[in-house]
A and B are shown apart, each in its own frame.
Chain A
Amino acid sequence: MSGEKGIAGNNFVSDPSTWVDRYGDYLFRYSLMRLRNRELAENAVQETFLAALTARRSFSGRSTERTWMVGILKHKVIDHYRKTFREKSISEIQTDEEQTVDSFYDAAGNPGKFPKDWMPDPQALLHSKEFWDTFRECLSKLPERTAAAFSMRELDDLDTPEICKELGINPTNLWVILHRARLQLRECLERNWFEKKGSHE
């Protein structure tokens, strides 16, 4: 969280009763993207508001109010990831992931299905709501811990040491997990987006 210094009665913070209307949907979208479940995402937003309310005197005004709240929410999301990762031992993760990777190939290491050209160019899809819905759906088909690692890497652009520290895994674990996530997501997006929508546009 930014600004640890407590400044009594600072007036950097706006009236908390306006927060839901001003930041609620943005924070919700942020957490829904990462937690992929409405209820979990709602709870994370609520906890964020509560934490911000408690800590509002320490907000320094160095960043915008929204950035400050996103910072709090980021930690809430990572807390959730950590809990998710704790459920299974690392060796189990490693075996699962490797089996999934294997399922994409035959014994000789040739892909079972060949990728197709993606049309239209994904750059053009950036602002398509449906594309993001499909992406979220595909992300939610991954096991939670795979999705968590992938989100930290590709949505939050954290690097290997940071993610490993947060999740208590080693780089080799992480790279297997990310590889599996990329294989699965690519395939899911192709099947649910590019093969369906792309051909009509």
Chain B
Amino acid sequence: MSNWEEETKTFLVISCKQAARLVSISIERKLTFREALTMSIHLWMCKTCNLYRRQIQKLRKILIRHEDVLNNTPSSDSECLDLKARQRMKDMLSGRK
């Protein structure tokens, strides 16, 4: 491999580990030109990382709606205050100790 090719490769090729890191960082801030370029190239070539990114994005979409959902989904007992806690708080709020 020529020197030039070698350098281009070092510049453009990143591992899955680095790609996953960039996927996460791209959610938090704008990537630099080089970061964005190397991530795009990697995701274009790598099915695994592409899937990883889609799942992370899906998860975000679901979680952002959790309040809505918990609001409208009837809750199971595991998600309710238990009787003892209820009574304790009721007593507190009605001025009984």
Contacts and interface: CB of A to CB of B under 8 A. Distances in A.
Given A17-B94, A186-B56, A25 B17 contact: no
Nearest to B27: A178
A133 B77 CA distance: 12
B32 interface: no
19 contacts: A26-B70, A28-B79, A28-B80, A42-B82, A46-B88, A109-B16, A110-B15, A111-B17, A111-B48, A115-B51, A118-B55, A125-B62, A126-B65, A127-B69, A129-B76, A154-B60, A178-B28, A182-B59, A186-B56
A128 B64 CA distance: 15
Nearest to A46: B89
Interface string A134-174: 00000000000000000000110100100000000001001
Nearest to A102: B17
Nearest to A16: B93
| Interface of chain B: mostly helix, strand, loop or mixed | helix
A38 B72 CA distance: 21
B81 interface: yes
A132 B70 contact: yes
Given A118-B55, A125-B62, A17 B93 contact: yes
A50 B75 CA distance: 24
Contact of B93 (A20, A26, A109, A132): A20
Interface residue tally of chain B, by bracket? 35 or more
A91 interface: no
B93 A105 contact: no
Top 7 A-B pairs ranked by shortest CB distance?
Answer: A109-B15, A109-B17, A179-B24, A17-B94, A16-B93, A105-B17, A154-B63
B42 to A, nearest CB: 11
Contacts, number: 136
A72 to B, nearest CB: 14
Nearest to A126: B69
B89 A49 contact: yes
B75 A16 contact: no
A132 B18 CA distance: 30
Contact of B81 (A24, A105, A122, A179): A24
B25 A179 contact: yes
A133 B70 contact: no
B55 A115 contact: yes
Contact of B29 (A25, A30, A160): A160
A192 B61 CA distance: 20
Contact of B85 (A46, A53, A121, A185): A46
